[in-house]
Structure 1
């Protein structure tokens, strides 16, 4: 077994402890007794001699088992330093559906670098608008030996784009044997929320005896989908209390139904009698609201090592992953009360609007004789779904060995990802006009919804008609990289504290990135849908070097630098200085200062265009007026009997008016910018590690990150608030004219409520170096182990206190409010795990705490303010409550080669804290956990040999 040389120990301090663990040097086979073996013990590197200048959290394989996580995403979400981010569960409406990301320090997907065995893995082929990131669902959990999180900002060793930190997943090595594991989890509140895993790991060959070792791991993950209708009875009952949460959540019977209604004509022929309520045909809206999508994943990891001689080893590793996530969506509703739908037209770079119309007076289903009578209908003909299928891989090969007194390693890697995002269930604009009619014509054509060979309301339509009206669409995305790297390490001198360690290396890469939308998306033919189109490639490279300077026996200095060169940019150097001072055997001080760098990705600089659809924009010129109108409409409806159709119409219109103006649909158009400057960061940390008694270790680390030249586009809210004062260059806001046929207000209501601006149509801007972010906080850690008469108790604590999070605003040319303690930025999060091992039994609890936050965003965000809450009747409840959740785990290993486990999540069956901001204006709960609550996970592991 290889051992760690002295220089490797030095590099461990520079690299934050993980690079040395990922690759043991061949020179150590002939090492003398003074050289140390590579060992990972405990759940954290908390022994003083293993603590480095950089704060590193290490999650051991045992801690992974105690976490209850079924995926890498679930594991990283438990970090107290993690912010909210994309998940495949909530990603159906994102540009990168079917993927999950990490987000350390709440600095975004692009600021957390994910490594597998100290090397990069392929990014997800679909950028989330402009964010390119690693899909955590494509990484195996069962193969993990440990996970190391470098938490002090940018790293000059692993990659200068790691502004918030590095997550390095280290897999098992030198394993011999065969074992199988399986798990199954589901809610104890219902039999839903089911997910299962199964894996098998095999390894053979002793590297020292047989001169080779091969390991294979296959992991399968399956998650069933959950529809809200199936778990609605388990939702927090406060959501149904009138006035508690003023939303449309309790309005379960929609009048947008099949075969539909005319207003005021009532239910159309063919509606089942039991579905007619108040004279209108109803539809269970929750039957197609999905809480959790179906997911299937396969991860395969193969690795091999062969000794080619006394001083050389060859290695190879193949990672292959296939993920498939299927989202079900509501069937397409239709009616003027829904309001117009605005989206971008890539052919003209402008917005376009779809206007629902009613039935002409001559239509056979129009019993009212009113022309353009309101129709409320639901197209249940076509599947409404989105399936995101991804295949990703990384083939890493290389050689490592020794030359004189130096260790060296060379690697060649091929990595890539391919994603097929296939959707259906939205109108084709041209298909609608051809099969139903031109909604832009006035007066309404007599054959609207009655064209020969066209679509028929409430009847069985042919496959050809349905396929043209609801065609397939989506994106085909592909990214590839070829990577060549080399590094050398060794001792180059002597100082008072020991040998001077040197490491240097080079990283060369070629990258290609394409996102190709379907032809109908590219033509702007799918109503309400945006697109992201990118086609580019580039070569880039980096040089890096590190020095470990043992100034004295107590003081060590680590110096590191990375030089990055990207096309059209000057070379950029990211430096790092780390200091570690051991006061005595039980107390150590540490600190780092370093710089970070991120060049714009190909989704931001290469020829590309992005058409988004913002469906939650609050229009400051129309929202308050809409709220007042909606309140008056509800007041009119209150005294009417439930059987009166007028009541349903009034309530439905109130909901629609609110939705149209306070959660408006706006075409958001963004273009690439080849002149973008790189993002620059500066970070520093200062802390200590203290071991007052044996087996008790405490750590405190202050961290501070400042990032500038951030690449982004201005927010809709910021631009809308600056609309009258003057928009910045390159930005524009387009509104439709204020007319008598306005989407929300009649001419009389326009005068009554003071409406002077037309509805929003589109907002256009390009990527720019716009913003800055400043954030700081304190990380706390503690571990304790104690032998007791009845077993061994160990405790582990992690906490993060957010002192400051501020974002720069170009509108005021200064920083906004401190967001610490505000919406999605909790002030102090913490996790305590306690376990007792008694012979073959293990019992433990994990306690996680998230504090209360206000509903407020930054200064320019009108949502969540005291006035916003007052306008919605939420005075005194403008907060998301705190939540303390307790999990229990148990494991039994008394049968030879067999281990059985139980994990109970949310032991006390608590509801998630109510989020008035996330809930307001939405027809479903804002979190799937609301109905899941307490769940049970059963695990089994068997070792064949």
Structure 2
């Protein structure tokens, strides 16, 4: 199966589902019960409401072949790639966690609830973003997931700008259930995930007046190293990853070649250091750079939930809930490198607020390691550095409450509880600045100004190590170094984060009158919440001693209060209006009111129209407004004053290399330098120094939806909803791209560059030849501001049909989201940038089509996942990946985009014995590769990491066994 096309067919299939005239299976219905629907505080019959809510029930979740709550959220068509995943969290300030993001608005604008109440945020902030860790929520305890696909601030308060994900756990479960599953890639068996769960419940609430549920879930995922799977990378990225392959079809020069930054190292112009096991054709020592690049980190999790309810009398119930989770994610880091021509590392010193600079130096002509008599370039890899970076986290929530009825018509509910998260993140593979000076040498002692040096080696003296014993002191190149020396050079560093929240809430809802015989519903309530948040870096981060590493700190607390109300007004027997408002008071800000109005009009029994309008907000979190500081490193940035010149130089270097015979050792050197030149200026790391701002305002939003629900025949329905969200006063920073695009207009100190005399990318002659007039980019400085705005809109389409056929019941389903517009405001333009719908990372159409046929005890299911094509370019400032930019790289128009992609999955479930169910899930049954993404592969400059795990994972199989004792 080479192609899966889903364009106009999405609409056609949806209409076919909705207008099917096949006879519908008649099923007995349980007694009608009023329940709370996500997005409302008023109980009602479980039907389509004025607010669009997507519901994933336990049966549907079981057919998705997922291993975690994060996996479930990823299947939503409204979910976006801006969420954090523990898989890609090694470079995050909040590694070891996963988040949710709806509508491309970020993880802070999506509120995650468990049984309609908040879960404590993760113990570390991802820079300034505070979020719920989805990995701490037990999958097997879930009854359903309700997704409110418009804002929910009028009901739930801050953070619900893009929507709400409400996870509802099982209730009234009795008996014991054991469940286990194993998932493995058939293409590369290193990809393995195992989960097991045990669920038990006692007490029939209806008969006994109580029920207690307990669930424990264990998760394990193996680590995968790129070296073990990289041979299966899409051949479209190059026919073969070899050291010297001009004309072989490689699109990225020396990409993927063994690295000359090796162990025991190379002295360029002199030769490899003694003890090297592998040499290239140029006689240089090489290292397999894939050997410690990690594709998937090892993860171990234990999630536990205990909940219970007890009938105290006919009017009052007591309930309680305990949630506990322990997670550990262990990242493997690549060995650090040292190169005399590397750009100086720039970072910040939190103790002084100043930037710091780590200098890479040539070996002195007087060094005993140097026999050339002139400055000597060193290329080295610290293969003896520590590589494991564990992140341990504990999370909990304990609550108890009472609920009941009053006067026979008022429902009330009140609870109090405590919740929190504690996280410890450690890394031991980065250089200590003080340790380097102690065991390697002081890079600040150079021969700059030395008349003999300047006369003999013009242009090199600034970067030549003056100490002859540089790299020949306590730390020995390519030799066994003592644990004490390694601890001094690579000390343990990281963060301890802790957040604690106490809360008490209450609400009451019921009937306050009638219009004709239709009840007017009213709900009122409030809550008080106190939170403490502390993020403490290790001492060496606080003093700026870890080379190139940022530091984030926070130590603050606050108490917030809120009151809310909601009215359900049945104007006629067909028209229902809903009004809601919530007022939240945060310290330091005026009370904020979030209003909502909604309408539901049942035009006919088969057609319902609905619309909502709501105001939302997000209060500044404690890392943004309270005492905090952040010193970060912004990677992969293009320097508009130097990148085009670097591209031209890199192209010339590659042309020179291709003109040489393959046996010429200078060919490898030219190709390696081309990669370094590109990385230095077009995939650059820039230090970012940021402080908190107590004068911040809350982010605010306005969201609206209008849509319809159609049920042409019983058992089939279709919903179509247009949504629009505008968010303003967004808290953040002016992007590096925005600052650089208007560099000449920035105040002094905002953008910092090195002098041209310290240029390590271009020689003096190359500066003149390529027109280089600005020094190397070092850092940016600022504070959090209400700096941006975003607007986005689109259409959600859902269709479901349950059809009785001669061989069994057929369930069909479709969910699709079409992104009409996504625009970010630019302070440089003083206007919105380009529409990003269809641009890199933002497919216009995302769709899931499912079919499940139940024949007796056997269920066969198919699921089609589709993402439409995108271009490679980003917003208005991105000229490297436009068609013109691609042509300059010799990429074709087809390669300058990511093609549409469809993946087909298969699910089989069989009740083999009474109580025993066996399931098989095959992901990507056609074994289709994701389309080429040359931008992702190119983003690391001289890097080596393929563009996606899915590219080498291929087809995978998940087997599940579930047994229920009764």
Q: TM-score range by the shorter chain?
A: over 0.9
Query: Distance between the aligned counterparts of 1:251 and 1:231, measured in 2?
Result: 13
CA drift of 1:864 comes to 2.0
1:785 match: secondary structure: strand
Structure 2 counterpart of 1:262: 267
CA deviation digits over 1:501-547, x for unaligned, max 9? 11110010001111111100011110111111111110111101111
Structure 2 counterpart of 1:88: 86
Q: Is the 8 A contact 2:40 2:155 kept in 1?
A: no
Structure 2 counterpart of 1:854: 871
Q: State yes or no: 1:937 paired with 2:958.
A: yes
CA deviation digits over 1:45-78, x for unaligned, max 9? xxxx700000010000011001111111111111
CA drift of 1:731 comes to 6.7
Structure 2 counterpart of 1:252: 257
Mapping 1:290-689, distance limit 5 Å: 290-371=294-375, 373-404=376-407, 405-443=409-447, 444-450=465-471, 452=473, 454-496=474-516, 498-689=518-709
**Does the C-alpha gap of structure 1 residues 657 and 212 become closer, same or farther in structure 2, counting only changes over 3 Å?**
same
Q: Is the 8 A contact 2:441 2:467 kept in 1?
A: no
CA deviation digits over 1:354-394, x for unaligned, max 9? 122232334343232323x1111111112123211111111
Q: Equivalent of 1:69, from 63, 66, 76?
A: 66
Query: Distance between the aligned counterparts of 1:685 and 1:4, measured in 2?
Result: 32
CA drift of 1:4 comes to 9.6
Query: Distance between the aligned counterparts of 1:124 and 1:20, measured in 2?
Result: 31
**Does the C-alpha gap of structure 1 residues 635 and 319 become closer, same or farther in structure 2, counting only changes over 3 Å?**
same
1:157 match: secondary structure: helix
Query: Distance between the aligned counterparts of 1:863 and 1:764, measured in 2?
Result: 25
Q: Equivalent of 2:773, from 753, 756, 762?
A: 756
CA deviation digits over 1:607-631, x for unaligned, max 9? 1111110121110011111111111
Structure 1 counterpart of 2:184: 186
CA drift of 1:16 comes to 3.7
Query: Distance between the aligned counterparts of 1:585 and 1:683, measured in 2?
Result: 28
Query: Distance between the aligned counterparts of 2:878 and 2:415, measured in 1?
Result: 48
CA deviation digits over 1:109-129, x for unaligned, max 9? 111000000000010111111
Instruction: Single out whichever of 665-674 and 437-446 deviates more from structure 2.
Output: 437-446
Q: Equivalent of 1:917, from 917, 927, 935?
A: 935
What RMSD in Å do the two structures reach over aligned CA positions?
Answer: 1.7
Q: Is the 8 A contact 1:17 1:52 kept in 2?
A: no
CA drift of 1:265 comes to 1.1
Question: With structure 1 as the length reference, what TM-score do the two structures score?
Answer: 0.94
**Does the C-alpha gap of structure 1 residues 434 and 378 become closer, same or farther in structure 2, counting only changes over 3 Å?**
same
CA drift of 1:764 comes to 0.7
Query: Distance between the aligned counterparts of 1:209 and 1:154, measured in 2?
Result: 37
Q: Is the 8 A contact 2:153 2:617 kept in 1?
A: no
Query: Distance between the aligned counterparts of 2:214 and 2:43, measured in 1?
Result: 23
**Does the C-alpha gap of structure 1 residues 731 and 884 become closer, same or farther in structure 2, counting only changes over 3 Å?**
farther
CA drift of 1:5 comes to 9.5
Q: Equivalent of 1:791, from 781, 802, 808?
A: 808
Query: Distance between the aligned counterparts of 1:450 and 1:389, measured in 2?
Result: 35
Structure 1 counterpart of 2:292: 288
Q: Is the 8 A contact 1:245 1:916 kept in 2?
A: no
Query: Distance between the aligned counterparts of 2:531 and 2:750, measured in 1?
Result: 34
Q: Is the 8 A contact 2:505 2:525 kept in 1?
A: yes
Q: State yes or no: 1:104 paired with 2:102.
A: yes
CA drift of 1:496 comes to 2.7
Q: State yes or no: 1:900 paired with 2:918.
A: yes
Instruction: Single out whichever of 341-350 and 286-295 deviates more from structure 2.
Output: 341-350
Instruction: Single out whichever of 404-413 and 313-322 deviates more from structure 2.
Output: 404-413
CA drift of 1:870 comes to 2.6
Query: Distance between the aligned counterparts of 2:257 and 2:421, measured in 1?
Result: 41
Structure 1 counterpart of 2:134: 136
CA deviation digits over 1:881-924, x for unaligned, max 9? 11010001101103111111111101111111211211112321
Query: Distance between the aligned counterparts of 1:731 and 1:704, measured in 2?
Result: 39
CA deviation digits over 1:725-754, x for unaligned, max 9? x02x69710001001x42101111111111
Instruction: Single out whichever of 231-240 and 749-758 deviates more from structure 2.
Output: 231-240
**Does the C-alpha gap of structure 1 residues 612 and 515 become closer, same or farther in structure 2, counting only changes over 3 Å?**
same
Mapping 1:809-820, distance limit 5 Å: 809-820=826-837
Structure 2 counterpart of 1:51: 48
Q: Is the 8 A contact 1:125 1:479 kept in 2?
A: yes
Q: Is the 8 A contact 1:247 1:923 kept in 2?
A: no
Q: Is the 8 A contact 2:158 2:619 kept in 1?
A: no
Q: How many residues align?
A: 907
Query: Distance between the aligned counterparts of 1:251 and 1:264, measured in 2?
Result: 23
**Does the C-alpha gap of structure 1 residues 483 and 118 become closer, same or farther in structure 2, counting only changes over 3 Å?**
same
Query: Distance between the aligned counterparts of 2:852 and 2:254, measured in 1?
Result: 41
Query: Distance between the aligned counterparts of 2:863 and 2:254, measured in 1?
Result: 33
Query: Distance between the aligned counterparts of 1:937 and 1:736, measured in 2?
Result: 54
CA drift of 1:450 comes to 5.0
Q: Is the 8 A contact 2:254 2:672 kept in 1?
A: no
Q: Is the 8 A contact 2:576 2:600 kept in 1?
A: yes
- The runs of 5 or more residues in structure 2 that have no matched partner are 1-29, 240-246, 448-464
Query: Distance between the aligned counterparts of 2:579 and 2:249, measured in 1?
Result: 57
CA deviation digits over 1:81-123, x for unaligned, max 9? 1110211111111111111111100001111000000000010
Instruction: Single out whichever of 690-699 and 488-497 deviates more from structure 2.
Output: 488-497
Q: Is the 8 A contact 2:179 2:197 kept in 1?
A: yes
Q: Equivalent of 1:878, from 859, 879, 896?
A: 896
CA drift of 1:448 comes to 3.2
Query: Distance between the aligned counterparts of 1:619 and 1:260, measured in 2?
Result: 31
2:623 match: secondary structure: helix
Q: Is the 8 A contact 1:113 1:159 kept in 2?
A: no
Query: Distance between the aligned counterparts of 1:776 and 1:500, measured in 2?
Result: 33
CA drift of 1:856 comes to 1.6
Query: Distance between the aligned counterparts of 1:733 and 1:284, measured in 2?
Result: 37
**Does the C-alpha gap of structure 1 residues 887 and 209 become closer, same or farther in structure 2, counting only changes over 3 Å?**
same
Mapping 1:140-289, distance limit 5 Å: 140-241=138-239, 246-247=251-252, 250-272=255-277, 274-289=278-293
2:207 match: secondary structure: coil
Query: Distance between the aligned counterparts of 1:149 and 1:196, measured in 2?
Result: 27
